[in-house]
């Protein structure tokens, strides 16, 4: 879908909230509506031309990449918020929608505009962004393919003697070399006791026999993210390790098999959490089951016990149960899936083996 069409879809939603003009400040939202990430603020009036404010450093690139907007250069010495305020005055805006505003911008706008009402419009933007169109889905498939290549590499190289950092470097190299524009988040390769920290990062630790190794990676492709985790066990697993691994593996499978359009997100979390709890590890599953993925690595819908989201066709979400036992180690297994009317399409693909060396 063209960015221009996305803005068109927005206008009905703005009308439903009686918003005269939308001020978009979040970079990912700006990219979603213009195709260009380097704009500083985007004004979308209900009637009139859409305006993208761009600093000189991005102006030439914006001319080539940004679509469906009139561009305004923010020159040296000019103050962005003042230019925005001027334009809002010219449009005679009474009800201003916004996605995110710093307190200082809010105060400055209020001071310059007087009695303008501010309306949080992030939910209407998310109602669009959470449903991926076919163009977005193909980019996300590509991102997931690159991530799967990275995981394949992890499967080959993770063994006793390699450091977490070295493994991360090899994985990122493969993804980058095959077309990734970067990573969706800092690569996690956490081994041994570090694996008990869900966001354990990656350091100089050298892997050894008996380690759990959590590998959580995501290639980025043309701004779209992906997310995948596998956990390996180096050497022969202990019975306790095997039980934890198999519990998480089965919970992940049960949850993935339960996802389809129309299901409550919290129900999917419940299915995985209930299975893990019955195996005795409930208190060690310390995070939600999953999250939406798109231009952001964490976005709606949220899959957790407290989520009010209902899954719908075109959502792209992660399913990532985990069990983390302090002083022992942790296991997480995660895939990024596309929600369909009757199930899912798994976008990330790698075997679920803990690798016996």
In the complex, the residues that contact Mn ion under the rule CB under 5 A are 227, 318
Residues 233, 211 contacting (CB under 8 angstroms): yes
What is the rounded distance in angstroms from the CA atom of residue 26 to the CA atom of residue 30?
Answer: 6
Q: Which residue is nearest to Mn ion (CB)?
A: 227
The answer to whether the bond into 294 is cis (omega within 30° of 0) is: no
Please state, in angstroms and rounded to a whole number, the distance separating the CA atoms of residues 317 and 298. 9
Residue 278: CB minimum distance to Mn ion, A: 24
CB of 227 to Mn ion, least distance (A): 4
Question: Phi and psi for 105 in degrees, rounded to 5?
Answer: -65, -40
Place of tokens 């792209």: 316
In the complex with Mn ion, the residue whose CB is nearer, 7 or 219, is 219
Helix axes 239-258, 265-278, angle to 10 degrees: 160
We find the least distance from the C-beta atom of residue 144 to Mn ion, in angstroms, to be 12
Q: Pick between residue 54 and residue 271 the one whose CB is nearest to Mn ion.
A: 271
Nearest approach in angstroms of CB 128 to Mn ion is 22
Q: Is 190 helix (H, G, I), strand (E, B) or coil?
A: strand
Select 41 or 302, whichever has its Cβ closest to Mn ion: 302
| CA 289/CA 302 separation, integer angstroms | 8
Nearest distance in Å: CB 43, Mn ion: 33
Nearer to Mn ion, 227 or 269 (CB): 227
Of 83 and 291, which CB lies nearer to Mn ion in the complex structure? 291
Task: Give the number of residues written for the chain.
Answer: 357
Beta carbons of 317 and 289 less than 8 angstroms apart: no
């Amino acid at each position: 879908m063209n960015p221009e069409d996305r803005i068109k879809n927005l206008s009905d939603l703005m009308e439903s909230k009686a918003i005269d003009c939308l001020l978009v400040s979040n970079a990912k939202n700006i990219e979603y509506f213009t195709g260009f990430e380097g704009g500083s603020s985007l004004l979308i009036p209900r009637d009139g031309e859409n305006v993208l404010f761009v600093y000189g450093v991005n102006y030439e690139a914006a001319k080539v990449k940004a679509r469906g907007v009139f561009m305004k250069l923010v020159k040296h010495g000019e103050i962005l918020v003042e230019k925005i305020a001027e334009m809002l005055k010219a449009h005679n805006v009474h009800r201003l929608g916004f996605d995110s505003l710093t307190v200082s911008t809010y105060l400055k706008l209020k001071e310059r505009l007087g009695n303008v009402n501010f309306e949080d419009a992030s939910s209407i933007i998310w109602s669009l962004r959470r449903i991926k169109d076919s163009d977005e889905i193909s980019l996300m498939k590509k991102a997931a393919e690159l991530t799967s290549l990275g995981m394949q590499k992890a499967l080959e190289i993770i063994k006793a003697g390699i450091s977490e950092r070295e493994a991360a470097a090899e994985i990122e190299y493969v993804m980058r070399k095959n077309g990734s524009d970067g990573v969706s988040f800092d690569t996690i390769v956490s081994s041994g006791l570090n694996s008990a920290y869900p966001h354990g990062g990656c350091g100089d630790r050298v892997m050894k026999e008996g380690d759990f190794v959590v590998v959580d990676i995501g290639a980025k492709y043309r701004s779209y993210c992906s997310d995948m985790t596998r956990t390996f066990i180096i050497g022969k697993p202990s019975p306790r390790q095997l039980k934890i691994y198999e519990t998480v593996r089965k919970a992940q499978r049960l949850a993935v098999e339960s996802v389809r359009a129309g299901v409550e997100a919290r129900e999917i979390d419940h299915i995985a959490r209930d299975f893990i709890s019955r195996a005795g590890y409930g208190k060690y599953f310390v995070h939600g089951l999953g999250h939406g993925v798109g231009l952001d690595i964490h976005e709606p819908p949220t899959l957790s016990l407290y989520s009010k989201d209902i899954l719908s066709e075109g959502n792209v979400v992660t399913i990532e149960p985990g069990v983390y036992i302090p002083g022992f180690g942790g296991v997480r297994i995660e895939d990024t899936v596309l929600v369909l009317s009757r199930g899912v399409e798994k976008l990330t693909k790698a075997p679920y083996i803990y690798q016996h060396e």
